[in-house]
Amino acid sequence: MSSSLSRLGLNRAPASPYDRAENDIDGSLALDSRPLTWGPPGAMPDERKLRHLGQALAEVLAGRRPPETVADRLTERAYRELVKAGRMIDSRRPPFAGAPHIKQPRDGAIEMCLLVHGDPRSHVLAIRLERRGVQWLCTDFETA
């Protein structure tokens, strides 16, 4: 499994120094440590990076990843809402985010939704990102 992940350019999350029972992220994809940046103004972001962000948010909402791991990709308000939301996705296994459906309602804003497959049911995760300089930040999210 590890060789297939590296062949795809993906890495497992590093071992967490936190209490593994409370913040277990084993099997989760590691987020790139660089900020989410994509090309010149007006350029659409890389769909793979958007899916990884959606996957990470789904893992936080399922209680499988600590919220601090995505803090640099959210505005302060969105991060507070994420922490306040707690566990919103109930799943016996790690969630899996499908391909994002992306819309750009205006220059500098992206809205996407992903189907998050879980057990016993799937959820929808909607995310809004806005460009702040060259970096894209999640400003809002919603799940059902």
* Percent of the residues in the chain that have a pLDDT greater than 70, as a whole number: 69
- From CA 107, how far away is CA 48, in angstroms rounded? 20
pLDDT of residue 14: 45
Is residue 37 very low, low, confident or very high in pLDDT (cuts 50, 70, 90)? low
- From CA 139, how far away is CA 118, in angstroms rounded? 24
| 81, 141 Cβ separation under 8 angstroms | yes
53-64 pLDDT, tens per residue? 999 999 999 999
Which residue, among 40, 63, 34, 57, has the nearest Cα to 128 in the 3D structure?
A: 57
Q: Is the pLDDT of residue 98 over 90?
A: yes
Which residue, among 114, 70, 71, has the nearest Cα to 96 in the 3D structure?
A: 114
Q: Is the pLDDT of residue 134 over 60?
A: yes
Q: Is the pLDDT of residue 25 over 60?
A: no
- From CA 110, how far away is CA 129, in angstroms rounded? 5
Average confidence (pLDDT) over 127-132: 94
- From CA 36, how far away is CA 34, in angstroms rounded? 7
| Residues 64-83: b if buried by 16+ CB within 10 A, e if exposed | bbbbebbeebbeeebbebbe
